[in-house]
Amino acid sequence: MADRKPFIVGIGELLWDVFPTGKRAGGAPINFVYHATQLGADGCAVSAVGDDDWGREILQELARSHIQGVISTVPYPTGRVQVELKDGIPSYTIVEDVAWDHLPLTPEALTAVSRADAVCYGTLSLRHAHTRETVKKLLAAAPQGALRFFDVNLRQSYYSKELIEELLGFANVFKLNDDELVILRDLFGLTGSDEEVCRALLQKYHLRYLIFTAGDKYSVIYTPDEISRINTPRVTVEDTVGAGDSFSGAFVCAVLMGKTLKEAHEAAVKIAAFVCTRAGAWPSYL
C-alpha cells in the first residue's frame, strides 16, 4: 500500500452530538473515517442527512475535514444525540427515526465500498430495518481482502444477540470495551477470564484482530499469532467522546500503511489519549 493512500469507508450514523455548550459533528463510523483521514488515509462517509439546516451544516463539516461523502438526502431530520458529561464521561440520548435510519442503497455507495481497503460499521446504525438491509448489502460488496471493522458500539437497547452474531459474520476485526464485554458475556453465555473470552471470540469468528479496550486502564489487541497490551496514558480529560473511534481509525490506518501490530497499537493509544484532551469527536490535529 506504499504506492497509494489507503481508502477507508465508514457506514452508518452521521449526526450532531449536542452538548450543553453547543453541537459538534459525530457518529462512530464517521469519527473513524475522520481520524484515519487526519492520519493520511483517504476517507469516505456513507450516510444520510435531512433536507434541513443541520444537514447542510454537517455536509460543510465533512468538506472542511476533507472527507469524501456518499451522503443521501432523505425526508427525515438530520441525526442528533443529546450528550451529557460527568467528569468528562458522556451519556447519550439518541433521537430516533432520523435520516441515517433510512439509508438508501445507492450505486455510489456500492462503488465506494467495493474499492475500500477498510470498512467500519457498528450495531447502532442497524436499529431500523431500512438501514439494516442497506448496510448488510454494502458489507457484502466489500473486497475479500479488506479490513471489515466491526465496532460493536452498544447503545441503549439498539442491539440483540442475533444482530451482533450476524454482523460478526461479516467481520475480520472486532472491537469492544470492558462494559460491552460484560453485556456480551450475558447475551452469549460466555465464561472464563477476559482474555479467554477474547481468544474464544477471535477463534470462533475467524478474526484477524480482536481489540479490547478497558478505558483508562489498558487495551489489548489479539491476533491468531500475537498479542499486544498497552497501559492507557494518563492525561487531563476534556471529554472521551469519539476516543474509541479515534483509536480504531488510527489502528487501521497504521496497519494499512504497513506498521507492525505493536506500532499500530501504539499509534492508536497515542491518538485516543490526544482526543480525550480535546472537546468533541473531531478535534483539530493542528
**Do residues 17 and 279 lie in contact, with contact meaning Cβ atoms separated by under 8 Å?**
no
Task: Evaluate whether residue 128 is within a structural domain.
Answer: yes
C-alpha cell at 258: 504497513
Quick one: pLDDT at residue 121?
A: 97
Pairwise CA distance, residues 76 & 65, whole Å: 24
- The percent of residues above 70 in pLDDT, for the chain, comes to 98
CA-to-CA distance for 68 and 46, rounded, in angstroms?
9
Average pLDDT for the chain: 93
User: What pLDDT, on a 0 to 100 scale, did the predictor assign at position 10?
Assistant: 97
Indicate the range of 76-90, 93-107, 189-203 predicted with least confidence. Answer: 76-90
* pTM for this prediction: 0.92
Q: Which of 227, 215, 222 is nearest to 269 (CA)?
A: 215
Give the separation between CA 96 and CA 116, rounded to whole angstroms: 29
Average pLDDT over residues 148-166: 93
**How many separate domains does the chain show?**
1
Q: Is the pLDDT at 25 greater than 60, yes or no?
A: yes
Q: How many CA atoms lie within 13 A of 153 on its CB side?
A: 26
Q: Tell me how far apart the terminal alpha carbons of the chain are, to the nearest angstrom.
A: 26
Distance between CA 207 and CA 196 in Å, rounded?
Answer: 15
Q: Taking residues 186-208, what's their average pLDDT?
A: 96
Q: Among the residues of the chain, which ranges form H helices?
A: 28-38, 53-64, 107-114, 129-140, 161-168, 178-188, 194-204, 243-256, 261-276
Domain assignment of residue 255, yes or no: yes
Q: Kindly tell me the burial class for residue 11, based on how many C-beta atoms sit within 10 Å of its own C-beta (0-12, 13-18, 19 or more).
A: buried
Taking residues 154-177, what's their average pLDDT? 95
pLDDT tens-digit readout, 57-75: 999 999 988 888 999 999 9
Give the pLDDT score at 1: 58
Nearest-CA neighbor of 242 among 35, 58, 59?
35
Domain ranges, residue 153: 7-276
At 85 the pLDDT is: 77
The answer to whether position 105 is within a domain reads yes
Query: Mind listing the pLDDT tens digit for each residue in 84-109?
Result: 877 767 778 899 999 999 999 999 99
CA distances for 134 relative to 227, 228, 268, angstroms: 34, 35, 30
30 located within any domain: yes
Q: Let me know: does 255 contact 264? Beta carbons within 8 Å.
A: yes
* 245-271 pLDDT tens trace: 999 999 999 999 999 999 999 999 999
By the 10 Å C-beta count (0-12 exposed, 13-18 middle, 19+ buried), 107 is classed as exposed
Extract the C-alpha cell encoding 69.
461523502
98: cell is 432520523
In a domain, 2, yes or no: no
In a domain, 286, yes or no: no
* pLDDT confidence of residue 203: 96
If you average pLDDT over residues 190-217, what whole number do you get? 96
pLDDT of residue 206: 97
Which three cell numbers, joined as nine digits, stand for 1? 500500500
CA distance 73 to 52: 9
Any idea which residue has 447503545 for its cell?
155
Contact between residue 103 and residue 46 where contact means Cβ atoms under 8 Å apart: yes
Q: Examine residue 240 and state whether it is found in any structural domain, yes or no.
A: yes
CATH code for the domain in which residue 66 is found: 3.40.1190.20
Is there a domain that residue 164 lies in? yes
pLDDT score recorded for residue 108: 97
Give the CA distances from residue 221 to residues 69, 73, 137, 273, in Å, rounded to whole numbers and listed in that order. 30, 38, 28, 17
